[in-house]
Every structure is written in structure tokens, then in C-alpha cells.
Amino acid sequence: MKRLLLLVFLLGLGMAAQAAESPVSVSNARVRWLPGDLPLAGYFAITSREASPLRLVGFTSPAFGQVMMHRSVAEDGMQRMVDVEGLDLTPGETVAFAPGGYHLMLMDRKQTLQPGDEVPMTLRFSDGRTLDVSFRVEGVQAE
């Protein structure tokens, strides 16, 4: 019984250490599905857990040849997308990647995707840390 309790305790410590290493929390990670080879969009909410500012600098995914951060902006009554080189996350702040604002552009699909699939994505930070997140593929009607 003592061994079992010790094992549970050590597993709990290991899980707490892994959670403490993550610089951010990510929620509602999803990819908007479109048919064919059209570019897809990725959305999520990201919250910094750091005591100091943290810079999100990029994304990679084995499911796509290119993943870019963009932001939709209104200019002269027109909406357009601009590249985002990096995003500074203030401690405790949540930034939403959502339609009409920040979003991911997912280009050059490497595999067939359907609603319900999970897509692995790696977030990269300026300090060299990474975070693996699973994005759920959803149809447009899910928004």
C-alpha cells in the first residue's frame, strides 16, 4: 500500500512539473475545415502563465507545409490580412485567435482532413520553448 501511495505521489509531482513548464495555456483550439486544397484557418485562445512578457513567434504542423500568423484589419472600409511576425503575450492576458482578428493560415495540406480529425500543432516562443497542442477540425457551421 505504501508503494502504491508513493507511486501516485511521484506521478502527481511529475504531472505538476510538466504543467509548470508550459508557458501558456491554450483552449478551444480548432481548424475551420474547407474542402479540396483550399487554405484553412486556425483559431484558439492563448493565456500567458509567465511572470514576464512572452513572445509567440511561430507554429509548425506535420499536416501543413506552412503555418502563418495573420491578423485581419479594416483599412479604408476593406478587410485585409497582414502577416504577424510575433505576438507579445502579457502575463495573465488572454488573446483570442478568432474570425475577424488574429488567426492562423494553414497552407499546403500534407494529408486529407475531415471534420472530427485532430491536427497536431507546435507553438514556438522566442525563448526557444515549444508547446504541442491538438487542434480539432470543425466544419464552418460549428462557429
- pLDDT tens track, the chain, 143 positions: 545 333 334 444 444 444 456 789 999 999 999 988 899 999 999 999 999 999 999 999 999 999 999 999 988 889 999 999 999 999 999 999 999 999 999 999 999 999 999 999 999 999 999 999 999 999 876 55
Q: Which one, of 135, 99, 90, 129, lies nearest residue 117 by Cα?
A: 135
Q: Which one, of 130, 63, 52, 129, lies nearest residue 88 by Cα?
A: 52
pTM above 0.85, yes or no: no
Residue tagged 494553414 (cell numbers): 106
CA distance 83 to 67: 11
Look at residue 75 in the predicted model and tell me its pLDDT: 87
23-142 classified as CATH 2.60.40.1890: yes
Q: Which one, of 108, 109, 116, 121, lies nearest residue 137 by Cα?
A: 116
